[in-house]
Structure 1
Amino acid sequence: MPSAMEIFRQTGPSHLTAVDWKNHHHRRAVAASLVEGAYKIERDRQQNLQGPEAHAPPWWEFFHFQLNHLLIDDVDHSIFGVIYESKLPASYFMQSELKAPRYVMAFRGTLTQHDTRTRDLKLDFQCISNRLHESSRFQLAMQSIQHMVSLAGAGNVWLAGHSLGSAIALQAGKSMIKMGFPLETYLFNPPFISAPTERIKEERVKHGIHIASSVVKAGLSHVVKSRHRSSDSKQDQDPFVVLSAWSPHLFLNQADHICNGYIGYFEERRKMDEIGAGRIERLAIKNSIESMLSGALGKETEPFNLLPSAIVTINLTPAPDFRHAHGTEQWWNPNFHFRSMVYQFTS
């Protein structure tokens, strides 16, 4: 049987022998590896692999991290997240020009093994229905994040996640910025719940659908806000404006239908600005039709997957199948073709 390090060297970013924390490609590769470590440590638990037989440790030890704490689901007792602590000396983090994290909180996505399948799929459905924040898994994650930030400070804590795990990290990051704590966040293949318009090949048709949707959402937003406008002259600050100060890193694959809705979401904002319809789009991107109808009924109104600002990287390398388009391994590949954009919301 090959050793755990041999397996890591075959499939992981073993080429990254010296990490330059100022290099965004290096930071992306390390963050993806630590998320993979969260997957591997749960698989080790299910297969009862311990000690030198365990496959997980090289995924963090190679980058000089150690385990600080495991996040365990209270329903199926699976490991859904890991808190890593850097082995670098504390004095290293006092140098403001360095971008290395002292702690990284990484969350895995859905596993289809028998031990985790039922719980993970239930959380997937909660994500689709905009109720992930109600789950005990998310609440456990938030408690741990708040605790780590209180101990180490927001500047020393990273969030990272893949798929369902990125939905947890996204929701948590949004909650933390509302408290005044912006966290460096790496979201790999985050789910975007919407109509599958990105599968439409004809660009004019797709763009027309986006414009029509934006107009409808802007109109609904105006109507709903008019009906619920308080007589009190003091209005709460727009949460979308609060969130705009936080720019998480999104890593998307154009062939992944789970996350590629974000590509259209951000691209249409740019196109609407170009045709002079930016004001409509700024109203529309704050809401989904479902969230506004829920708001009219007095329910939760903020869709978890909508973002005002982000640093977006799109993998343009053709994927042979969905597994490769949605997998984590693409994000530590040093040779993939990509396009990056920075999107900043302005009110």
Structure 2
Amino acid sequence: METTNQVSKEEEAEEQRKDLVVSKEEEEEEEVEEEAHPYSFHVSGPRNLSTLNWRDLIYSTWKDSNYKRTVIACFIQAVYLLELDRQEKRTQETALAPNWWIPFKYKLTQTLIDERDGSIFGAVLEWDRAAAMADLVLMRPSGAPRAVLALRGTLLKSPTMRRDIEDDLRFFAWESLKGSCRFKLALEVLKSASNSFGGSNVCVAGHSLGAGFALQVGKALAKEGIYVETHLFNPPSVSLAMSLRNIGEKAESAWKKLKSMLPYSGQESRAGEEGDTNKNLGLKSWIPRLSSFKNSGFGVGKWVPHLYVNNSDYICCSYNDPGGDGGVNKENVAPPGNGPVAAKLFVVTKERQKFHEAHGLEQWWSSDAELQQAIHSSKLISRQLRSLYSGSGTSSQVTTQGKS
């Protein structure tokens, strides 16, 4: 009987040991799955920046445009993940977003919340002096912003998709996002950061819809004489308002050409001129009067936004259309130094890319994102910035950099 009980206890102990082993294996598998999340920094983040140390932070170089583009894109990715962490109820220990700013010695100081659905659409990241000092980084690297306002684009997830698309349609219809509560809050936060740290120490950046907001809040501050560094990844360029405006301009141009072909003299000339003025006013009255084209008096060349576009992305590719005809017009090519720089345009020209890849944010921290420089004028950028340069009397120039 004792032997039987002893065997039974040994079997029970063996089963418990097996259960414990299985339980540990399951926990390890869960940890591996968590670590291998596709949005984890070490999985999908930049490969060449995975092991930063104090030497990298000091000597690396925020002055290098490739490095700066990479880090700013990572900050925008962090905003996407802040909202996904919120939606999926991740804890502080399991959150994915922090790892996208911690390696660069920045900290989260504010999140921007959409009052309509409670979603996170932006965040302010500031240089973390304490974390830097802990790693013997005694000073902020030259060229590194004191604060960055990062704005995400559209998330096709049910909790926030409705409000994101609502603002997408707002831009498509009017080419203005000023009616959105996000514009008001982003402008207030950016202005506050500029007042605290100085405009030269502040940066605003966005992707897709977020780039649309970043462009318009950056331009709004520029009109007030506050010039913040601006980075726009895959900014939206297609709108119904711009299309109608183009149609109106073409119709007006056709009328002027027709008028020049008609014979006139004396009273007919004067009467014709008065009639032409009235007709032109009537023609222009239906062209959308966009608020972004009304103001002037801007100091030329003091605010130069950086635009990052992909030719395979139909949402932003129009920014790389020099003459509005989809091709490169050699007559529009301007030599370096000919007039003030209106914007810096960085272009990816890979062929046969799917839209999802071409519009994605990940391409901008890719290790093979080497840029070559070219220069031409872009009518679309000129129109976007017309109100800032209309008082100068000089033609704007667009610096364009492309990837082969």
TM-score clears 0.5: yes
Q: Distance in 1 between matches of 2:226 and 2:98?
A: 30
Q: 1:25 is matched with which residue: 44, 66, 70?
A: 66
1:336 shift after superposition: 3.1
Q: 1:60 is matched with which residue: 101, 104, 110?
A: 101
The reply on whether 1:309 has 2:342 as its aligned counterpart is: yes
- Which residue is equivalent to 2:362? 329
1:312 shift after superposition: 0.6
- Which residue is equivalent to 1:11? 44
Provide TM-score, normalisation by structure 1.
0.74
1:76 shift after superposition: 0.6
Distance 1:326 1:141, change over 3 A: same
Q: Describe how 1:1-347 pairs up with structure 2 within 5 A.
A: 1-3=33-35, 7-16=40-49, 17=52, 18=56, 19-88=60-129, 92=139, 98-129=142-173, 130-194=175-239, 223=280, 239=296, 242=299, 245-265=302-322, 271-273=330-332, 309-318=342-351, 320-336=353-369, 338-341=371-374, 346-347=394-395
Larger Rg: 2
Distance 1:219 1:39, change over 3 A: farther
Distance 1:238 1:57, change over 3 A: closer
Counterpart contact for 1:4–1:56, Cα < 8 Å: no
Q: Distance in 2 between matches of 1:32 and 1:319?
A: 23
1:273 shift after superposition: 3.7
User: Where does the alignment leave 5 or more consecutive residues of structure 1 unmatched?
Assistant: 196-210, 229-236, 276-281, 283-307
Counterpart contact for 1:3–1:53, Cα < 8 Å: no
**Cα shift readout 1:11-64 (whole Å, capped 9, x = no counterpart):** 011422334111100000001000000001100000001122111111111111
1:246 shift after superposition: 1.7
Counterpart contact for 2:187–2:217, Cα < 8 Å: yes
Tell me whether 167-176 or 126-135 shows the greater mean CA deviation: 126-135
Q: Distance in 2 between matches of 1:58 and 1:310?
A: 31
Counterpart contact for 1:8–1:59, Cα < 8 Å: yes
SS of the residue corresponding to residue 334 of structure 1 reads coil
Q: Distance in 2 between matches of 1:29 and 1:63?
A: 11
Please give the root-mean-square deviation of Cα atoms over the aligned residues, in Å: 3.5
Distance 1:325 1:217, change over 3 A: farther
Q: Distance in 2 between matches of 1:23 and 1:337?
A: 12
- Which residue is equivalent to 2:400? none
Distance 1:319 1:104, change over 3 A: farther
**Cα shift readout 1:138-175 (whole Å, capped 9, x = no counterpart):** 10111111111111110110011000000000001110
Amino acid of the structure 2 residue aligned with 1:20: T
Q: Distance in 2 between matches of 1:338 and 1:216?
A: 39
Amino acid of the structure 1 residue aligned with 2:139: Y
Q: Distance in 2 between matches of 1:50 and 1:75?
A: 24
Amino acid of the structure 1 residue aligned with 2:364: W
Distance 1:144 1:213, change over 3 A: same
Distance 1:219 1:50, change over 3 A: farther
Distance 1:4 1:131, change over 3 A: same
Q: Distance in 1 between matches of 2:247 and 2:163?
A: 37
Q: Distance in 1 between matches of 2:163 and 2:361?
A: 21
SS of the residue corresponding to residue 178 of structure 2 reads helix
Counterpart contact for 1:319–1:325, Cα < 8 Å: no
SS of the residue corresponding to residue 159 of structure 2 reads helix
Provide TM-score, normalisation by structure 2.
0.64
Q: Distance in 2 between matches of 1:60 and 1:342?
A: 33
State the aligned residue count. 290
Tell me whether 130-139 or 62-71 shows the greater mean CA deviation: 130-139
Amino acid of the structure 2 residue aligned with 1:252: V
Amino acid of the structure 2 residue aligned with 1:256: D
Q: Distance in 1 between matches of 2:208 and 2:147?
A: 21
Q: Distance in 2 between matches of 1:220 and 1:85?
A: 54
